[in-house]
Amino acid sequence: MFKKIGLIFQISAVFIGTIVGAGLASGQEITQFFSTYGYKSFCGIIICCIIYILTGYIITHLSIKYKLNSYNELITLVSPGFLGKVTDLTTGMFLISSSAIILAGSGALIHQYFKLNKWVGILLMGIMALMVLFRDTKGLIEINSFIVPSLTIVIVTLFIFYIFFYDNMSFSYIKTIPYHKNNWIFSSFLYCSFNILCSTGVIVPLAKEIPNKKYIFSGLILGSIGLTVLSLIINLLLILNIPYIFEYEIPLLYVANRFGKAIQIMLLTIIWFEMFSTEVSDIFSVSKTLEQTFKIPYRAGCILIFLIALPISQVGFVKLITFLYPAFGMISFIFILQCLIFYLKDR
């Protein structure tokens, strides 16, 4: 009984860890896709939760039924034509680009706050990621089982401090805070779409390793709810600090500033670990696809992706979120519709 519950928690941690990444943990993703839309953004986050659960079930069902091994096989199954090839290529490019940007972000973080050469942060991230990746699916589960609870503790601690020190947190006050954009529904769909397509790189191999729909789906439901609660808390903290958050690459760091160095260091540490978690998930996803498509051994694929990502790792972190994410989100949204249509026809 406890073993089954533990497995469900591990699956939920992997799902959360794959999606959270440095963008959400730093507050940058929530700022771009939700907080700029004001109080309506809370509805957008709830919509994302519902879509995560529905599409998570469809992906799990198809993965187990057709004995899929990687996101590449899922894309080929639901979209066998030209659009599927474009989606497959774009997903691979996005995951590699994301991996490269995370390496750069690690270097910048280490350099900015510890005054060490940026290559120390880049190589530290890369070598540690490879060590975890060489443990295959077990390594992916182990690292997220540690990082996700740690993230939750830090964000909830920051939230509790804010409740005690902030005088006005009523919804009527939040409605008066000026917002900068209006198309919040479209932004919400884009955000959850690219997260879902990215997470397929982890969900599909998990469904192969643990071919039990009930466990996988229970883990995805728990993960979706946990991710939603974290996102709602971060969004609230950020909205209460408009417009100052727009001046920072790490908006949550501005929120944490008033609570002293200890909280700042905790937040920076967890952001680095979330970068690490996403780095592992991205390389894992592409390596599994290389293994299935080109018969490249999994470990060799991990090293290859890392070596490709190194020279690309000089693109700005905010640029990736601002420009690459929405473009990838559009392709991902089309892919989700194809999954839904395929599932309905398949039934």
pLDDT at 318: 58
pLDDT in tens, 60-87: 999 999 999 889 899 999 998 888 888 8
Domain that holds residue 127: 2-346
pLDDT at 103: 86
DSSP 8-state secondary structure symbol assigned to residue 313: T
Name the pTM for this structure.
Answer: 0.87
pLDDT at 297: 94
The 3-state DSSP class for residue 155 equals helix
Residue 134 CB partners (closer than 8 Å, separation 6+): 299, 302
pLDDT at 258: 80
Residue 68 CB partners (closer than 8 Å, separation 6+): 62, 74, 77, 204, 207, 208
Q: How far is CA 252 from CA 31, 203, 245, 269, 340, in A?
A: 10, 29, 8, 13, 36
pLDDT at 23: 66
User: What parts of the chain have a pLDDT lower than 70?
Assistant: 21-23, 167-172, 180, 315-325
Tell me how many domains the chain contains: 1
Q: What is the DSSP string of 215-281?
A: HHHHHHHHHHHHHHHHHHHHHHHHHTTTTGGGG-SSHHHHHHGGG-HHHHHHHHHHHHHHHHHHHHH
Q: Are the beta carbons of 210 and 7 closer than 8 angstroms?
A: yes
pLDDT at 286: 92
Identify the CATH number of the domain in which residue 240 sits: 1.10.4160.10
pLDDT at 264: 83
pLDDT at 228: 96
Whole-number Å distance between alpha carbons of 73 and 80: 10
Give residue 189's identity as a one-letter amino acid code: F
Residue 42 CB partners (closer than 8 Å, separation 6+): 232, 235, 236
For 181, the token pair is 């954009």
pLDDT at 315: 65
Whole-number Å distance between alpha carbons of 224 and 217: 10
Q: Are the beta carbons of 276 and 130 closer than 8 angstroms?
A: no
